[in-house]
């Protein structure tokens, strides 16, 4: 298969099976049941002597209770970059090291085993290293994973905003108009909450998130929440309006 993947260790290769291969089915189940990453969930199983002996998923294998608002998405990091910005997307929490941890905890000798990963189309360098250090022989991915699990494809499905409107507090109308213009792309609109310093009625109060300006940042609150779900800081590359839009698409 002649697909260029962002990383392949020297002298190693990826192995492929169809998505409905039984071990991939197990990996898919691990993805659904264990992944703590709501944006890019990945599941993985370890196969030894023809049996699944361990299972794990990314996002530290802690099933998410909340939608993950990822700083990497807000700041538009390139694929494979900016992992240090996000505790969920830290390589330590990727499915491969999680799998090695699960195997270790069960006292399984991982030498000569195979891993089947569902939900991604390549493994990053730290993860490959972890697998190789543990003697894992083969890493299987789905044969059409470069299409099925490409970032664009996955994000088109997971980055669908559940809110159609966001309330903007503390900004002038041109700023709100700019948010509006950008948010149209994702089917959302922005409204100003104050007119001339006077709070305006909130259409559907309690049903839309609020972006509220503070002296140094913008805090985004889910309806009814007192703690912000995300705090946006000024960024040299990604303007505030785009960051608001990028948060909204993850809510
Ligand atoms: Zn993240
Ligand atoms: Zn990784």
CA 34 to chain CA centroid, nearest Å = 14
Angle at 229 between CA 222 and CA 243, to 5 degrees: 100
User: Could you tell me the two tokens for 144?
Assistant: 């059409």
**Inter-residue contact 8 to 132 (CB < 8 Å):** no
Closest CA to 232 of 223, 221, 243, 222: 243
Task: Report how far ligand 1's centroid is from the alpha carbon of 73 (Å).
Answer: 7
Within 100-247, strands assigned E span: 114-118, 138-142, 165-169, 189-192, 194-195, 198-199, 210-213, 217-221, 230-233
Question: What digits encode the pLDDT tens for the residues 99-157?
Answer: 999 999 999 999 999 999 999 999 999 999 999 999 999 999 999 999 999 988 998 88
Q: Is residue 202 scored above 90 in pLDDT?
A: no
- For residue 90, the model assigns a pLDDT of 86
Rounded Cα gap, residues 231 and 237, in angstroms? 17
Q: Is residue 205 scored above 60 in pLDDT?
A: no
Q: Name all domains of the chain by residue range, CATH numbers in brackets.
A: 15-158 (3.40.140.10), 165-248 (no CATH)
DSSP 3: P
**Inter-residue contact 230 to 247 (CB < 8 Å):** yes
Task: Report how far ligand 2's centroid is from the alpha carbon of 241 (Å).
Answer: 30
Task: Report how far ligand 1's centroid is from the alpha carbon of 87 (Å).
Answer: 7
Mean predicted confidence (pLDDT) in 76-91: 86
- For residue 170, the model assigns a pLDDT of 87
Q: Is residue 196 scored above 60 in pLDDT?
A: no
Q: Which one of the ligands is nearest to 139 CA?
A: 2
Question: What digits encode the pLDDT tens for the residues 34-58?
Answer: 999 999 999 999 999 999 999 999 9
- For residue 1, the model assigns a pLDDT of 54
């Amino acid at each position: 298969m002649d697909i260029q993947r962002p990383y392949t260790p020297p002298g190693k290769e990826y192995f492929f099976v169809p998505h409905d291969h039984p071990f991939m089915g197990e990996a898919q189940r691990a993805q659904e049941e264990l992944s703590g990453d709501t944006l890019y969930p990945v599941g993985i199983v370890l196969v030894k002597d023809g049996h699944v002996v361990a299972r794990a998923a990314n996002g530290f294998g802690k099933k998410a209770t909340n939608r993950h608002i990822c700083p990497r998405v807000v700041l538009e990091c390139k694929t494979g970059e900016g992992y240090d910005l996000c505790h969920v997307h830290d390589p330590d929490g990727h499915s491969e090291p999680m799998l090695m941890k699960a195997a270790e905890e069960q006292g399984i000798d991982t030498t000569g085993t195979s891993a089947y990963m569902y939900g991604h189309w390549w493994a990053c360098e730290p993860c490959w290293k972890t697998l190789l250090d543990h003697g894992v022989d083969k890493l299987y991915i789905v044969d059409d994973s470069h299409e099925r699990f490409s970032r664009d494809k996955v994000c088109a499905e997971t980055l669908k905003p559940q809110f159609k409107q966001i309330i903007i507090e503390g900004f002038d109308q041109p700023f709100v108009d700019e948010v509006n213009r950008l948010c149209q792309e994702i089917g959302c609109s922005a409204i100003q909450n104050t007119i001339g310093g006077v709070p305006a009625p909130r259409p559907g109060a309690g049903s839309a998130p609020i972006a509220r300006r503070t002296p140094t940042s913008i805090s985004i609150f889910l309806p009814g929440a007192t703690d912000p779900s995300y705090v946006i800081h000024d960024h040299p590359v990604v303007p505030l309006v785009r960051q608001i839009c990028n948060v909204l698409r993850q809510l």
